[in-house]
Structure 1
Amino acid sequence: MLITKFDPFKQMRDLERSLYQYPQSSEGVGGFVPVVNTREGEFAYHIDVDLPGVKKDEIKVDIHKNVLTISGERKTKEEVKEEDYYKVETSFGKFSRSFTLPDNADIENVEASSKEGVLELVIPKLSEEKHKKIIKIK
């Protein structure tokens, strides 16, 4: 007899996973959710976004009230039309991912580059001197 441990949150994780696998845009057409890798270095934060099939002029990156938003639309698809079948391999549609930036992020010097379907954002950290203010008492 196999004994399994009860996990009360398994259904919630399964539901969340299913929502990310089959996203729906506001128009009812299936979109896609790009894979994102984030990491923190000594001097900067890094965000890598996998955007295969998305041209860099179709990607929009903006920062508003310390929230960085990456959005765009993938319009390409690989489809095969034969006499007895029709096949579409890739998902397509609009996407948007948002990230709340930490207080020490230098939003004035954010750099973005796109190479071989990967968007890389480098968000420098403010030095402690710029981030800290000493107030003199009168």
Structure 2
Amino acid sequence: MLLTKFDPMKEFRDLEKRMESAFKFPEHGDIANVSGFTPSVNTREGEYAYHVEVDLPGVKKDDINVDIKDNVLTISGERKTKKEVKEKDYYKMESSYGKFQRSFTLPDNTDVENIEANSKDGVLEVVIPKLKKVNKETKQIKVK
């Protein structure tokens, strides 16, 4: 006769595993086919400006939005790609659609009125100028 040890928590662990698998997010490579994609971003600080470079392959310039609200820079848009192959003995069409959004809190020393954005070869570059520092002279206050 085979004896099985009673485990009162086994059913809860099984339920937890089923719930995790039901709500598990896809791996990074699969996310583009499910609900969008998360573009890669490089940021750097120059002497006169901050630079944000976003990799957006296959995204048209007209499908990119760059907004600023409450000192937060938001880059969003939608990627629509369609690949179609017509051969003599077969036809294949693949398409993927997905929305994306990335947000960045800007430092206090940014000139939000003069931000520029350019898209070229699938890379969006946003240049955020810094405000010029005003070197004020030290003023001596006479104590009375």
- TM-score, length-scaled by structure 1: 0.67
The equivalent residue for 2:101 is: 96
Q: CA deviation at 1:70?
A: 0.3
Alpha-carbon separation, structure 1, partners of 2:85 and 2:104:
37
2:41 paired residue among 32, 36, 42: 36
- Structure 1 residues 106 and 48, CA gap change in structure 2 (3 angstroms): same
- Unaligned 5+ residue runs, structure 2? 1-23, 137-144
- Unaligned 5+ residue runs, structure 1? 1-14, 133-138
- Structure 1 residues 34 and 79, CA gap change in structure 2 (3 angstroms): farther
Any conservation in 1 of the 2:42–2:54 contact (CA below 8 Å)? yes
Q: What secondary structure, in the 3-state scheme, does the structure 1 residue paired with 2:134 have? A: helix
Residue correspondences, number: 114
Any conservation in 2 of the 1:69–1:96 contact (CA below 8 Å)? yes
The equivalent residue for 1:127 is: 132
Identity of aligned residues (%): 66
| 1:115 is aligned to 2:95 | no
The equivalent residue for 2:68 is: 63
- TM-score, length-scaled by structure 2: 0.64
Query: Rg bigger for which structure?
Result: 2
CA-based RMSD = 3.3
Tell me which amino acid in the other structure corresponds to 1:70: I
Tell me which amino acid in the other structure corresponds to 1:108: E
